[in-house]
Structure 1
Amino acid sequence: MTPVLYRLTRATAGRVLRAGWRPEVHGLEHLPAGGAILAGNHLSVADQLFLGAVVPRHIAFWAKAEYFRGRRLARVLVRGLGAIPVERAGGRAVLTAFDAAVPVLRAGGLVAVFPEGTRSPDGRLYRGRTGAVRLARQAGVPIVPFGVVGTDAVQPIDARWPRRVPEGRVGYRFGRPVDVAGGSVRAATDEVMARIAGLSGQEYVPAYAPLLRLGRNRT
Structure 2
Amino acid sequence: MIYGAMKFSVGGTLKLAFRPWVEGLENIPATGPAILASNHLSFSDSFFLPAVLDRKVTFIAKAEYFTTPGVKGKLTAAFFKGVGQLPVDRSGARGAGEAAIKSGIEVLERGELFGIYPEGTRSPDGRLYRGKPGGLARVALATGAPVIPVAMIDTEKVQPPGKVMPKMIRPGIRIGKPLDFSRYHGMEGDRFILRSVTDEVMYEIMKLSGQEYVDIYATAAKRQIAEAAKKKAEAEKAEKAAKTGKGQPEQQGRTGSGA
The two structures have a TM-score, normalised by structure 1, of: 0.87
Which of 89, 110, 113 in structure 1 is aligned with 2:113?
Answer: 110
Aligned partner of residue 152 in structure 2, secondary structure: strand
Deviations 1:144-199 (A, max 9, x none): 0011111111011222121112xxx4110101111123451111111100100111
What corresponds to 1:47 in structure 2?
Answer: 45
CA spacing shift, 1:150–1:80, aligned 2, 3 Å: closer
Three-state SS of the structure 2 residue aligned to 1:122 is coil
Instruction: Quote the Cα distance in structure 2 between the aligned partners of 1:50 and 1:159.
Output: 18
SS in 1 for 2:219: coil
Q: Is the 8 A contact 1:133 1:180 kept in 2?
A: no
The worse-fitting range, judged by mean Cα deviation, of 33-42 and 73-82 is: 73-82
Stretch moving more, 48-57 or 74-83 = 74-83
Among residues 187, 211, 216, which one is paired with 1:207 in the alignment? 216
Residue identity matched to 2:90: R
Runs of 4+ in structure 1 deviating by more than 6 angstroms, as ranges, are none
> Is it true that 1:128 corresponds to 2:134 in the alignment?
no
Aligned position for 1:216? none
User: C-alpha displacement at 1:129, in angstroms?
Assistant: 0.7
- For residue 200 of structure 2, the aligned residue among 159, 178, 191 is 191
Give the superposition deviation at 1:12. Answer: 1.4
- Does the residue aligned with 2:182 lie in a helix, a strand or coil? coil
Match of 1:36 among 8, 23, 34: 34
Matches within 5 A, 1:1-219: 4-32=1-29, 33-71=31-69, 72-89=74-91, 90-130=93-133, 131-165=135-169, 169-182=170-183, 184-210=193-219, 212=222
Higher-Rg member (1/2) = 2
- Could you say which structure has the higher helix fraction? 2
Runs of 5+ in structure 2 lacking a partner? 185-192, 224-259
Is 107-116 or 89-98 further displaced after alignment?
89-98
The match for 1:217 is none
Does the CA contact (< 8 Å) of 1:143 and 1:177 recur in 2?
yes
- Alpha-carbon RMSD: 2.0
> Partner letter of residue 10 of structure 2?
A
3-state SS of the aligned residue for 2:211? coil
- The answer (yes or no) to whether the contact 2:6–2:82 under 8 Å persists in 1 is no
Aligned residues, how many? 208
The higher-RCO structure (CA 8 Å, 6+ apart) is: 1
What code does the residue aligned with 2:195 have? Answer: R
Letter in 2 for 1:210: T
2:218 match: secondary structure:
coil
Identity %: 44
Task: Using structure 2 for the length normalisation, give the TM-score.
Answer: 0.74
Give the whole-Å Cα distance in 1 for the aligned partners of 2:77 and 2:115: 20
Other structure's SS at 2:173 match? strand
Q: Secondary structure at the match of 2:196?
A: helix
